[in-house]
Amino acid sequence: MKTPLIDPFQRAITYLRLSVTDRCDFRCVYCMSENMTFLPKKELLTLEELDRMCSTFIGLGVEKLRITGGEPLVRRGIMTFFNAMTRHLDSGALKELTLTTNGSQLEKYAADLWAAGVRRINISLDTLNEAKFADITRWGRLPQVIRGIDAAQKAGMRVKINTVALKGFNDVELFDLVEWCKSRDMDLTFIEVMPMGDIGNEDRLDQYWPLSDLRAQLAERYTLTDLAERSGGPARYVRLEETGQKIGFITPLTHNFCESCNRVRLTCTGEIYTCLGQEGMQDLRPALRDHPGDDAPLEAAIRAAIGMKPKGHDFDYSRQEVSGKMSRHMSHTGG
């Protein structure tokens, strides 16, 4: 056994979130500007390089691998990569292989993902109103996403819906979303909007709906019981006693989760970000590409990056201004 990855604050790093592309077939207003400039394809790591990178992390103790984007399923040949990761599930080194998706391509890929070992999947969905969905995603089609959810459930995957809480947009749909997820036996997690990237004319403060307010509204209709369980990520969970369903809250603004952070993010170009809410990153590409037959330099570069992981982020809206804002878009880092 190699020495595990431990950051300067004695947190074990066991969770890697890998962005396989910065491209997406939606343009969600809190995530991207409408006219995005994407990376030239030649700058992206190849699928073989992504395999080697992830395999090195797994060899250093990463047990959970989440594939993100952009929209990961728009990457050409992506199932080749998922199928390659299956060997780590088979060996027991990797405990979970999963992804976060907008659902647009799931109708096509759900069965193949199940065959590759994906058992849980997160689907980003912020409204059940078709017109509002088209508005917030700019390019999206709600029926296409619903068919993707159908396909994922038919394949056998456990589906969790991720909903970004947006004031003046989906606050009126709170109970509709909860009851819809209950009717389909899906978990639901709400996420506070984070200050990531220039999104054009949208205003972060206008969008921001603190989950403390959302939770208080839920408590008016349901009995909420706090749960101790974690799914390996930042969400805190409650059970709605009247329905038995589990609701998650990801609250980087009102209650950060940095003390238990066990994850790092790797971009499709080989940059490692050890904190979503800090600009600091290290480029792992030289260690990967300059030593094609030797993983030792890559392992050393990974350990050096983990050794610089900060204690936490600085996101803050409390003074009616956006503090701790990141220049990069969420789609660049991979959520």
Query: Does an H or E element contain 88, and which?
Result: helix 78-91
Query: Is the alpha carbon torsion for 148, 153, 156, 159 positive or negative?
Result: positive
Within 13 Å, how many C-alpha atoms sit on residue 19's CB side?
Answer: 27
The pLDDT, as a whole number, for residue 35 is 82
Distance of CA 74 to the CA centre of its chain: 16
Beta strands 263-266 and 271-273 are antiparallel
185 within domain boundaries: no
- 27 assigned to a ligand binding site: no
62 within domain boundaries: yes
The pLDDT, as a whole number, for residue 322 is 47
The pLDDT, as a whole number, for residue 199 is 41
Lowest pLDDT segment from 7-16, 77-86, 126-135, 271-280: 271-280
285 within domain boundaries: yes
Exposure of 8 by Cβ count < 10 A (0-12 exposed, 13-18 middle, 19+ buried)? exposed
77 within domain boundaries: yes
**Mean pLDDT of the 220-226 span:** 97
- 30 assigned to a ligand binding site: yes
Give me the numbers of helices (H) and strands (E) for the chain, helices first please: 11, 12
- 138 assigned to a ligand binding site: no
The C-alpha atoms of residue 138 and residue 54 are separated, in whole angstroms, by 33
Q: What's the chain's average pLDDT? A: 88
**Mean pLDDT of the 32-49 span:** 89
- 265 assigned to a ligand binding site: yes
Q: Rg for the chain (alpha carbons), in Å?
A: 19
**CATH number, residue 62:** 3.20.20.70
| Domain interval for residue 272 | 15-161+261-333
Number of domains in the chain: 1
Q: What's the maximum distance between 2 C-alpha atoms anywhere in the chain?
A: 60
184 within domain boundaries: no
- 222 assigned to a ligand binding site: no
Q: Are the C-beta atoms of residues 263 and 257 closer than 8 Å to each other?
A: no
Say if residue 299's pLDDT is above 50. Answer: yes
- 14 assigned to a ligand binding site: no
pTM here? 0.87
**Mean pLDDT of the 287-314 span:** 90
218 within domain boundaries: no
- Which one has a higher pLDDT value, 330 or 86? 86
pLDDT confidence tier of residue 256, bands split at 50, 70 and 90: low
280 within domain boundaries: yes
42 within domain boundaries: yes
- 100 assigned to a ligand binding site: yes
- 17 assigned to a ligand binding site: yes
- 263 assigned to a ligand binding site: yes
pLDDT digits (tens, 9 = 90+) for 188-211: 999 988 664 454 444 545 678 889
- 194 assigned to a ligand binding site: yes
- 258 assigned to a ligand binding site: yes
Say if residue 317's pLDDT is above 60. Answer: no
- 54 assigned to a ligand binding site: no
The C-alpha atoms of residue 196 and residue 163 are separated, in whole angstroms, by 16
The pLDDT, as a whole number, for residue 1 is 64
Lowest pLDDT segment from 176-190, 192-206, 282-296: 192-206
- 268 assigned to a ligand binding site: no
Can the peptide bond before residue 277 be classed as cis, meaning omega within 30 degrees of 0?
A: no
